[in-house]
Structure 1
Amino acid sequence: MNSQNGFLLSFIKYGENDAVLHCFTEEDGFQTYFVKGIYSKRNKKKALLQPLNMLNFTINPTRGNGIPLVSRFELVKNHDIYMDIKANTVIFFVSDFLNQVLRHENKNPDLFFGIDKFVSELTDKNYQCHLLFLIMILKIQGVAPLINNGSYLDPETGTFSATPCHQLFNEEISGIWKIALCSENIYITKIHPSLRKDFMDSLLVYYHYHITDFKVPASLEVIQQIFE
């Protein structure tokens, strides 16, 4: 058996009582686990199946190519943010987002601790932190825009130019990107509420250009409604 910490990204009920978990772990990156009996009436652990909960998993050895079996798991940190409707909406969106973009990611300590920092920011009621976290992911993945003297971000080339290259990337939106990219603490970047939808749209455009097979998360519509 081995034990490791991981963030729960998604979970799917399997049969009557079992579940398949998708997680991003500290030691092995993206992993899929199988847990038996989690939905049985007497099992209180199903309450821990919350997106982006950090859990400690004890894993049974597997034979061949089978899905690793979880023998037990415990909550590592209790952030208690799921009763806050705004924070809850952000958590579901980001877990949905990460479940897609981290599918082929191996061990990456910067990403793992980046997720932990993001959850801490959200716990402190920084309701714009998901926007900045998506830029942080691009930086860690090595596909963030390159900084120069230009005022307009070209999302296709990942560089700034002297003239507009895309209708979403005006001087104001491009300026927020530049401030965030240059900041030592990205989460102190301020994004006016009136600009957050356009900024989110700009992030999705950039991801389409630079992350292979990227698709807009289904939860996008919900998070936009909450923050309108």
Structure 2
Amino acid sequence: MNSQNGFLLSFIKYGENDAVLHCFTEEDGFQTYFLKGIYSKKNKKKALLQPLNKLNFCINPTKGNGISSISKFELMKGHDIDSDIKANTVIFFISDFLNQILKYENKNPNIFLSIERFINELESKNYQSHLLFLLVILKVQGVAPLIREGNFLDPETGTFSSNPCHQLFSEEISMIWKTALSAEDFYATKIHSSLRKDFLDSLLVYYHYHITDFRNPISLEVIQQIFE
């Protein structure tokens, strides 16, 4: 029997009592698991199925090409934000985002540790942490912009230039990118609340250029409304 530690990204009810889980694991990267009986009336563990909860799974050996099944699982670390509407909205947004961009990702310790760090920042009420986390992922994936002279970021080439290249990448927004990418600690970067929506929009444009088949997360509209 195989033991895995992983962050729960999404889960879908299957039939009356079962579920299919998508997780990013420490040992094997993105994985899909079948969980039997989780929605039965006597099963109290359904409460552990919360986005970005860190779980330990015991995995049954796979037969053929089927989905691996979970024999049991335990909570390793939840997040202490249950009553925080803003933080919960961020958690749903980031889990939605990661469920999309990590679906072909193999083992990647840097991403796994980055998710842990992001959750710690959010628990500390850093309500701009999701924006900077999106930058962290770009850097880990090797597609972050190159720091050069120039005050305007060109999202298509990932370089800075002396002239505007895209309407969303004003000098003010471009400088947030440059400041964060140049900082030793991404999360120390301060983004004024009036600029956060435009900065998020610029991040999504950049992802469309550099991440294959990227689509805006379904939860995007919700997070924009919460932070208005």
Q: Same fold (TM over 0.5)?
A: yes
Q: Matched residues in 2 for 1:61 and 1:87: separation?
A: 37
Alignment partner, residue 182 of structure 2: 182
**2:58 is paired with a residue of what secondary structure?**
strand
CA distance in 1, matches of 2:29, 2:78: 22
Q: In structure 1, how many angstroms separate the alpha carbons of the residues matched to 2:183 and 2:41?
A: 49
Residue 143 of structure 1 aligns to which amino acid in structure 2? V
1:134 deviates by: 0.2
The one-letter amino acid of 1:84's match is D
Distance 2:194 2:80 in 1: 28
SS of equivalent residue, structure 1 residue 41: coil
Report the secondary structure of 1:52's partner residue. coil
Structure 2 match to 1:212: 212
Matches within 5 A, 1:89-104: 89-104=89-104
Cα deviation 1:45-83 (Å, max 9, x = unaligned):
000000000000000001111100000011101322122
Partner letter of residue 152 of structure 1?
Answer: F
What is the number of equivalent residue pairs in this alignment? 228
Counterpart of 2:72?
72
Whole-angstrom CA distance in 2 between matches of 1:81 and 1:14: 28
Find the counterpart in structure 2 of residue 110 from structure 1.
110
What secondary structure sits across from 2:10 in the alignment? strand
Letter of the structure 1 residue corresponding to residue 153 of structure 2:
L
SS in 2 for 1:202: helix
Which residue number in structure 2 is paired with residue 45 of structure 1? Answer: 45
**2-structure distance, mates of 1:122, 1:162:** 35
1:110, 1:204 → 2: CA distance?
Answer: 21
Q: Distance in 2 between matches of 1:138 and 1:78?
A: 25
TM-score, normalised via structure 2 length: 0.99
Identity in percent: 78
Which residue pairs with 2:35 in the alignment? 35
Opposite residue 208 of structure 1, the aligned amino acid is: H
What is the distance in 2 between the residues matched to 1:4 and 1:33?
11
Write the deviation string for residues 123-158 of structure 1: whole angstroms up to 9, x where unpaired.
010000000000000000000000001110000000
Answering whether residue 55 of structure 2 is matched by residue 55 of structure 1, we say: yes
Q: Secondary structure at the match of 1:178?
A: helix
Aligned to 1:16: 16
Q: State the partner residue of 2:145.
A: 145
Structure 2, unaligned runs of 5 or more: none
List structure 1 runs of 4+ shifted beyond 6 angstroms.
Answer: none
Which residue in the other structure is 2:123 paired with? 123
Superposed displacement of residue 4, structure 1: 1.3
| SS across alignment from 2:77 | coil
1:102-135 deviation line (CA, Å, top 9, x unaligned): 0100000000010000001000100000000000
* Local SS of the residue matching 1:76: strand
SS in 2 for 1:63: coil
**Counterpart residue identity of residue 216, structure 1:** N
Distance 2:123 2:214 in 1: 28
Question: Is 1:159 equivalent to 2:147 in the alignment?
Answer: no
More displaced 10-residue stretch of structure 1: 80-89 or 131-140: 80-89
